[in-house]
A and B are shown apart, each in its own frame.
Chain A
């Protein structure tokens, strides 16, 4: 087991290096001169060759490509991701630290909504298979999966924020600000997990252990909750774990619609402003999150499932 964990950890290192190199390459491949971009987004009205040369020196762009990459990776390892082009007084690390709590708050709230709604609904759909509740929920799932988050967000804002005046349409600060964006982010995940839990439960209901439990005369409630639901949750927990980085990266559009000051808003404004160091670090951060959560849940699954442990 220890060997497996060490091996997986070691395998993650080249993967992270590849991610960092790809991030760096993509940004470097952009045809425009980043020094000129930096000057333009600082609204320098006329950009002279001297100003470009000065900015190139300031940003270290006059060094060879590989030297810049190594400098950047070494900087990243020390928590130094460079400075923002938009506001040179701010560091990229500082910007990420500033925006991360709001995104974690939104992703966390969405995750809770997903868990609280999808497990009971998925459970009820499974035990009332093809009943009216199951049919209605399947219809809702079908519609909500097809609706883009941007549109759902605007509809909620118009209905609940403008017409009913129950909740603020934008910004953050109180729990009331959190409800609409969190629900918008959660909606597509709720649909996914309801389907997953329902199907897993239906699969488990056909298993021999359920038949055996029925033969033993165990109460139905106990069979459904202690055995079927518990066994169905194995794959769901891994999938939910893996959806945490997805939730963090998936808040981009919703944050922008609801003016939620998190990483997504930072990323969108950085894309519009061509703030390359921020975009580069954001992509790297999301890549690292996926690798780390993948690793973590693979290890957790191996620890919890003796069959996998034996294989590894």
Chain B
């Protein structure tokens, strides 16, 4: 009997072993644990990184892939930069230099010579032209970039000269060209009949790394491109593990399975603050990249009154939101765009948190306390709704806090959450009184996000419809985009930002920032001027 029981147990254990062996062979034909084996050398050159999801489709001319991966595989004509060497917000990349002629309507790019794709094909003006042809074939998909509306032609003048002609001047042209998507350059050999809109047959670029292995939803391996035209990265191999859960990512960092967690939504504030004093890990925070804000619908009966909007500005305690909800990691925001964003330091006076001032404004405007302590004016109650995205916990917390604060001022605010798509639908169609909003972030702020205020793209267009000066604001934004004179452009920006500030349409809450948590031996963890890019090529181990 004992023998039988022993045999049954042994059989089970063997079956368990066989099952794991099956999984092992099914998982991949490559190394079972790609992260294993790194870390014992005196100076490491293999980085174990993490992302919450798979790399997905890395076709750079579409939007379904992970941008951190696209930005190390491919290059663009120019690269967005906030360094001192930057001209018009960009530095040379595949284009070594450029000339802007005919009052900003013609761009002549001199292409870097001797650059090849990792499949050996030359990256010359013809290859770049082929990329632009493929991008323009799917033009409708990219009309969020204003330059698509003014782009007239792209021609390869000779092997190393590319000409881009516009119908009118467009000042953010170089910054938009520096965006990884859709302007990253892929090898023409990866195109299918010269097209990329229906997919590509490879992910070959000229960037510092090459994708050498990946298993969907498990990991991706990038190895250094030894024929890279620029400075060779110190890290030879980057293994990116897919870990969807926040807590698991932190456990993996603690156990040494990964070296770096990076991104604005990859770490929650509570977890990050617990590592502030750590002697094993380092926390890095970027400068503000985008503004978390509340958007008020000026066509609403109550919020259409500028006095109410100004009172709400004074009644919002941003410091308390920053400290209480974001543990100080997101700093209080005074303006629609942080003054560190180009053209946005225009000397405006912020609306201070002052409940007495808020009450005085409402009293003066005729909103006096009525039944149940809620203020009224001409039989209309000072009551409105706040829409938030129920998928985002922080928005609900802020909404509940503000509801309580506003109530003490005699303002009734109903809060309701909708799932993300429904929230967006309501926002776009103007079906809200007040709604949470987030600015686009660098480098699209302020030009592209302002350009989008002129059309029903997000909630801005609908919310601004009740403004008497909406026409003037829209015209000024249009003028900004075609301006060629720096002083004139700054004046126009100042005008728009001042008007929006005085109209009190946006209640800025906090400035969102990029975050990184890494082991102490990893160095060079920086933040790029493009908030969607992770400069992995600049990292090294000490």
Contact = CB atoms under 8 A, between A and B. Distances in A.
A168 B16 contact: no
A87 B64 contact: yes
Interface stretch (A10-18, A201-209, A256-264, A294-302): A256-264
B7 interface: no
A169 B252 contact: yes
B21 interface: yes
B153 interface: no
B12 interface: yes
Given A87-B57, A265-B244, A42 B421 contact: no
B241 interface: yes
A108 B28 CA distance: 20
Given A86-B56, A178-B23, A258-B248, A173 B33 contact: yes
B216 interface: yes
A239 to B, nearest CB: 19
A105 B63 contact: no
Contacts of B33: 168, 171, 173-174, 177
Interface residues of B, number: 55
Interface string A32-48: 11001100111111101
A311 interface: no
Interface in A136-191: 154, 157-158, 161-162, 165, 168-175, 177-178
Contacts of B24: 173-175
A165 B24 CA distance: 21
Interface string A282-305: 000000000000000000000000
A157 B251 contact: yes
B217 A170 contact: no
Contacts of A46: 143-144, 452, 457
A125 interface: no
B235 interface: no
B241 A178 contact: no
Q: Which of B20, B140, B143, B256 has the most CB of A within 10 A?
A: B20
A256 B245 contact: yes
A139 B457 CA distance: 59
Contact of A115 (B12, B217, B241, B420): B12
Given A102-B26, A173-B27, A32 B421 contact: yes
A40 B422 CA distance: 12
Contacts of A173: 23-24, 27-28, 32-33, 218
Q: Which of A42, A170, A266 has the most CB of B within 10 A?
A: A170
Interface in B320-359: none
Nearest to B31: A173
Contacts of B144: 45-46
Nearest to A30: B421
A89 B55 CA distance: 14
A37 B141 contact: no
A97 to B, nearest CB: 11
Contacts of B245: 256-257, 259
Contacts of B394: none
B199 A89 contact: yes
Contacts of A174: 20, 24, 32-33
Contacts of A221: 1
A172 B12 contact: no
A276 to B, nearest CB: 11
Interface string B24-57: 1011100011000000000000000000010011
Interface string B4-30: 000001001101110111111011100
Interface in B393-420: 419-420
B532 to A, nearest CB: 10
Interface string B230-258: 00000000000111110110011011110
B421 A40 contact: yes
Nearest to B142: A45
A194 B7 CA distance: 21
B213 interface: no
Interface string A243-277: 00000000000001111010001101100001000
Q: Which of B17, B24, B245, B422 has the most CB of A within 10 A?
A: B245
Interface string B202-218: 00000000000001111
A101 interface: yes
Given A42-B62, A46-B452, A261-B216, A101 B248 contact: no
Contacts of A236: none
A167 to B, nearest CB: 9
A33 B53 CA distance: 24
A42 B63 contact: yes
Nearest to B440: A45
B486 interface: no
B190 to A, nearest CB: 14
A64 interface: no
**Contact size class for A?**
35 or more
A300 to B, nearest CB: 21
Nearest to A51: B140
A218 interface: no
A196 B414 CA distance: 51
Contacts of A217: none
Nearest to A154: B247
Interface string A193-234: 000000000000000000000000000010001000000000
A21 to B, nearest CB: 24
A31 B422 contact: yes
Interface in A96-149: 98-99, 101-102, 105, 108-109, 112-113, 115-116
Contact of B251 (A99, A162, A269): A162
Contact of B26 (A101, A116, A175, A258): A101
B19 A109 contact: yes
Contacts of A99: 217
B425 interface: yes
Q: Which of A42, A46, A225 has the most CB of B within 10 A?
A: A46
A172 B27 contact: yes
A37 to B, nearest CB: 5
A32 B426 CA distance: 10
Contacts of A33: 425
Contacts of B26: 101-102, 105
B248 A170 contact: yes
B455 to A, nearest CB: 8
Interface in A54-82: none
B424 interface: yes
Contact of A112 (B12, B53, B141): B12
Nearest to B218: A261
Contacts of A178: 19-20, 23
A149 B421 CA distance: 30
Contact of B64 (A32, A43, A98, A177): A43
Contact of B424 (A40, A43, A98, A108): A40
Contacts of B219: 171
A48 B456 CA distance: 9
Contacts of B13: 116
Contact of B23 (A102, A113, A170): A102
A261 B217 contact: yes
A108 B14 CA distance: 13
Given A48-B143, A170-B243, 15 more contacts: A32-B421, A43-B63, A44-B141, A46-B452, A86-B64, A101-B26, A102-B26, A105-B26, A116-B9, A162-B251, A169-B252, A171-B243, A171-B257, A172-B23, A274-B420
22 contacts: A31-B422, A31-B425, A41-B64, A42-B63, A89-B57, A98-B216, A105-B20, A112-B16, A162-B254, A168-B257, A170-B251, A170-B252, A170-B257, A171-B257, A173-B33, A174-B33, A178-B19, A257-B247, A258-B248, A259-B242, A261-B217, A265-B217
